[in-house]
Structure 1
């Protein structure tokens, strides 16, 4: 089977969409299928093309037997609705043009930027092939949640297009049950949907193969109780609230480690400097294969989001990475993510944007050795239940059925 996958993010980018797509495609290639990924020059989250790449009209490379085609797009930092829209729309146009010339038995297009799915839909119509909408984010609802778009004519138009694309797809693959319910409540048949959640890469995130000691030594954080955040520093992640909490902590042994980049990074650095926070360290983005070492260096994995009904539908991929490393999770996300942490008892949850609750739960994880050990051990159970290999195979089986039914 020839699988054509349209995605705005792909390695060497290290965000959740890039990682999920790469790991799924790698498994499918291992099963003997031909996989072509159309993406753009790596630039997320800084909005700058990575060293060694160029923003050309059309370039090919092979990544672990996956054919990767990088097309031109208008690249900008994650600032301003109009610029980001132009960025996303330009990729939809160039990925569509490139896709016309690629072999495909089935087409997959993934959000969170749903202009990518416009390309998937159009290619399906021109090539007469089935297409799958992978829903990683409820867009445009999520951008309204972080204040980047308001209710009005533009929002209503985008939502109408969103619903049209769901209906036109041969299959919709949401990454959470809450996404599925949201879509079902808005008229998308549950039978048309198949939930394939994010999962754990048990090969990469191997506690026995990582070296957190060297990271602690390098950062000068030996003998500290480290709360680590690895990921995008964006508007949705509420890291300014975490810095506010850090400023309240007098315990000299407690330290916060933020790893990554994003639209809010400069603002966070400014806050830390102005408040003279001595218990906070910022590290630039690291390669994906180094993430296990950094997670092994921390004592608690921090997973926060803004307080919003929209984010109750989200399951951050950070949960699975931390669980694979048997790392207790301090979760500031309500809804389905909270349900998973509580089900497996793999960490402890605080109410988003509640400073007192955050400080209390953090202190509990640090002081209660029995709770800490239990959460650590239960993380391994959570990781195995969400094994990425198993989930990739489940998705592949569904793709086979869709392609066969269209013959």
Structure 2
């Protein structure tokens, strides 16, 4: 079996979509004949090419047995709706002809959140006459409305019509939460072709570690209780709440509680400017680091903070950083309502707080700092639960669904040919 996968994020980028795709494909190459990924030159989130890469029309490389084809795209930072849309469109236009250079794929998988990659997957499935698997990691374009990135308009209405068209045309839909499945079924998509494969963590990489003493010294974190946010600093994440909590802690004389931010995104410059303007001393920003180094920064954390804006849409998502923190044995302060909060509560892996409530977040940080045994117990609970979200197991489940779908399609085609 030969799998063709379309995604605009892939290592050495280190965001959640890149990690999920890479870790799934890395497992698949052990069980199928070939896995080919079509992506673009790595540049997320800054819009600056990673060292050693060029934005060429077509380039090939091999990564852990995965054939990677990189195509030209319009490169821009992860900010500004129009520029990002041009980025997405250019990848769609380049990915379709590049797919024709892949020898006899048996199935095409295209991953969201933005649907222009999904459009490319649909077109490729028609051109190559192969099943079309849609992986849904975000309810886009609904998420555009949720963060206010674009006002109500006919464009968003048109994108939603396109979204539903693609759902209907997909042979198989993989969603990352049960809430996503319920959303699609309520909008008329047949339930039998929708399957849930949640996010998870690579347990071979994410596991309990002693604090990296070199980083502790470099970042000046000696004797600090470190609360960390690791991930994209985007409009959806509402990280202003974390900055305000840090300010309140400093005012209360609890600046021994230090907030560490690792990553980049559209909101990072504004967040840094706010910290400087308000004279907040108990916050440190670190730029994105190579994938291999991320766990060193995770090791610094006494507690992981997860946060999204307070909106109904985000009740349906489960941030992948939740599972990475659990696998590291780090308790979580979880500022996301809905399905993901239920996981935290059911597994007793952390404490939840109201999104955009800086007062409550600051109070819980003090609670953890004053009660290290509580933090330790919740961390151990998360570590035990992380086995349920082992990326290797999840990758194999998704592969099983893809293989089953392909067999069913082939069977239907044979029966159709026999009748004709």
User: In structure 2, the residue corresponding to 1:233 is in which secondary structure?
Assistant: coil
Query: Which residue in 2 is equivalent to 1:119?
Result: 120
Query: Which residue in 2 is equivalent to 1:8?
Result: 8
Q: Are residue 398 (structure 1) and residue 401 (structure 2) matched?
A: yes
User: In structure 2, the residue corresponding to 1:92 is in which secondary structure?
Assistant: helix
Counterpart CA distance in 2 for 1:360 and 1:5 is 45
Aligned partner (choices 372, 376, 387) of residue 373 of structure 1:
376
Counterpart CA distance in 2 for 1:281 and 1:171 is 43
Query: Which residue in 2 is equivalent to 1:259?
Result: 262
User: In structure 1, the residue corresponding to 2:23 is in which secondary structure?
Assistant: helix
Counterpart CA distance in 2 for 1:320 and 1:308 is 22
Query: Which residue in 2 is equivalent to 1:382?
Result: 385
User: In structure 2, the residue corresponding to 1:394 is in which secondary structure?
Assistant: helix
Query: Which residue in 2 is equivalent to 1:301?
Result: 304
Query: Which residue in 1 is equivalent to 2:25?
Result: 25
The offset of 1:211, in angstroms, is 5.0
Q: Are residue 170 (structure 1) and residue 201 (structure 2) matched?
A: no
How far does the alpha carbon of each residue in 1:23-69 deviate from its partner, in whole angstroms, 9 at most, with x for none? 00000002243100000000100011111101110000000010000
The offset of 1:214, in angstroms, is 2.4
Aligned length: 406
Query: Which residue in 1 is equivalent to 2:414?
Result: none
Q: Are residue 350 (structure 1) and residue 344 (structure 2) matched?
A: no
* 8 Å contact from structure 1 (residues 55, 71) kept in 2: yes
* 8 Å contact from structure 1 (residues 112, 138) kept in 2: yes
Query: Which residue in 2 is equivalent to 1:312?
Result: 315
Counterpart CA distance in 1 for 2:354 and 2:213 is 32
How far does the alpha carbon of each residue in 1:213-245 deviate from its partner, in whole angstroms, 9 at most, with x for none? 222122111110000111111111111121111
Where does structure 2 lack aligned partners over 5 or more consecutive residues? Answer: 411-420
Matches within 5 A, 1:224-239: 224-239=224-239
User: In structure 1, the residue corresponding to 2:334 is in which secondary structure?
Assistant: strand
* 8 Å contact from structure 2 (residues 303, 375) kept in 1: no
How far does the alpha carbon of each residue in 1:71-91 deviate from its partner, in whole angstroms, 9 at most, with x for none? 001111122222111110110
Q: Mean alpha-carbon deviation: is it higher for 296-305 or for 17-26?
A: 296-305
User: In structure 2, the residue corresponding to 1:248 is in which secondary structure?
Assistant: helix
The offset of 1:373, in angstroms, is 1.9
Counterpart CA distance in 1 for 2:220 and 2:153 is 50
TM-score with structure 2 setting the length: 0.95
Counterpart CA distance in 2 for 1:248 and 1:369 is 21
Counterpart CA distance in 1 for 2:358 and 2:390 is 34
Counterpart CA distance in 2 for 1:307 and 1:15 is 22
Query: Which residue in 1 is equivalent to 2:279?
Result: 276
Q: Mean alpha-carbon deviation: is it higher for 282-291 or for 319-328?
A: 282-291
The offset of 1:278, in angstroms, is 0.6
Matches within 5 A, 1:109-258: 109-208=110-209, 212-249=212-249, 250-258=253-261
* 8 Å contact from structure 1 (residues 341, 348) kept in 2: yes
Where does structure 1 lack aligned partners over 5 or more consecutive residues? Answer: none
Counterpart CA distance in 1 for 2:305 and 2:101 is 44
Counterpart CA distance in 2 for 1:174 and 1:164 is 17
User: In structure 1, the residue corresponding to 2:279 is in which secondary structure?
Assistant: coil
How far does the alpha carbon of each residue in 1:101-157 deviate from its partner, in whole angstroms, 9 at most, with x for none? 213100000001111000000000111000100000000000111111222211110
Counterpart CA distance in 2 for 1:288 and 1:328 is 22
Counterpart CA distance in 2 for 1:252 and 1:279 is 6
Q: Are residue 326 (structure 1) and residue 329 (structure 2) matched?
A: yes
Q: Are residue 102 (structure 1) and residue 102 (structure 2) matched?
A: yes
